Amino acid sequence: MANDLSLFRGEPGVERAKEIIERMRAHAIPPTPANYEVWTAHVAGIFPELSAQIETQIASGAPFNDELNGDLFERFFANTRLSVQMLETSKLISDDLNGSVSSLRDGGAQASAYARILQVAIGRLGADGNAQVLTHLKSATQGMVEHSEKLAEQLEASSRQIEVLKAALAGVKVEGLTDGLTGLANRRMFDETLQRRLREARDANSELCVLLIDADHFAQLNTNWGQALGDQVLCYVGAVLQAHVQGDVLAARLGADDFAIIMPRTNVNLAEAFAERIGRAVKSKQILVKSTGERLAPVKISAGVACFRGDEGDDVLGRARACLLAAKASGRDRVISDLQLRRMNAA
């Protein structure tokens, strides 16, 4: 998607969203998330080849059927699916549209109320006599009533169109960026988000920490009890992470029992304390084996914490991995930060 999110901010963003949905409506294109993404890219001029094909199709007069719409999406978006940037864009537009729908409906309600007041006034004017001035006023008032009613209808129609757009944006959830088992971000979303957060930290000279987390002895648990229970444990750990992250902190599952957290504007001491809280929360509950009713020993985690140093070539993820390996080598069920690891290596 476009790198310039300003295209979709504020009132211009709402107008652009209206333009996109209106163009889709004009060509009888259903406002599905995939179709909306294609036409957003077209209107924003992101993919010249995509725009050229769409314009050629319009010029030929041929319809945009489901097969063609699907082909456009597959050709230009299937390999990458929706990016994190698209998610942020969708949220911006949706937030702005919330205000627009409210304003439109308020305007429609006011127009309708005004129309009712004018209709009452017309009746009173007709009952008071046939003076020329009253006749003219009655005629003008009737015109205003009709105009107000028409305006109210138009506003309501516009609000319905925007509701359709909002529903389409709400569908932009994007399976390609979500782990199907835990509901956390997947590896791709983690990688994209980390690169953006690193740029932001570098530009703003701010802190950023990365946490890598493993469930202790997970492979053994999976072997002894089977994948179903293993998946239950992964879902449990994922739920604990999700319950603890707030704001723009991102929790992700990188694969198997590997989890990660990105914490912008956070120093290593706070991140280390955060990881300790997660560890305590995870082992505070015992897992119940559904098939037998047996309770497992508490699940425990190991975590590595690294803070971004601000260097262009800084491998914060690699340092977090080294800290995680040190935590596992030191007996597991613990958190080791890069600050601690440096002290350990210096000892």
Q: Name residue, tokens 């305007």.
A: 107
Q: Which of 60-64, 114-118, 133-137, 244-248 is least confident?
A: 133-137
Same domain, 119 and 259: no
Write the pLDDT tens digit of every residue in 231-280. 999 999 999 999 999 888 999 999 899 999 999 999 999 999 999 999 99
Whichever domain contains 225, its CATH number is 3.30.70.270
Residue where a domain stops, chosen among 115, 142, 173: 173
Residue where a domain stops, chosen among 173, 206, 232: 173
Q: In this model, does residue 79 exceed pLDDT 50?
A: no
For residues 104-114, average pLDDT: 57
Give the separation between CA 36 and CA 27, rounded to whole angstroms. 13
The single-letter code of the amino acid at 187 is: R
Same domain, 294 and 338: yes
- pTM for the model stands at 0.57
Same domain, 276 and 138: no
Same domain, 138 and 249: no
Boundaries of domain holding 240: 178-346
Same domain, 166 and 204: no
Q: Which of 98-102, 208-212, 218-222 is least confident?
A: 98-102
Q: Are strands 335-337 and 301-307 parallel, antiparallel or unpaired?
A: parallel
Same domain, 49 and 90: yes
Same domain, 112 and 195: no
What does the pLDDT read at residue 163? 65
Q: Do residues 261 and 279 touch, judged by C-beta distance below 8 A?
A: no
Mean pLDDT of the chain: 79
For residues 221-233, average pLDDT: 90
Tokens describing residue 287: 């897992």
Q: In this model, does residue 108 exceed pLDDT 50?
A: yes
Same domain, 275 and 162: no
- The count of structural domains within the chain is 2
Q: Name residue, tokens 């094909």.
A: 53
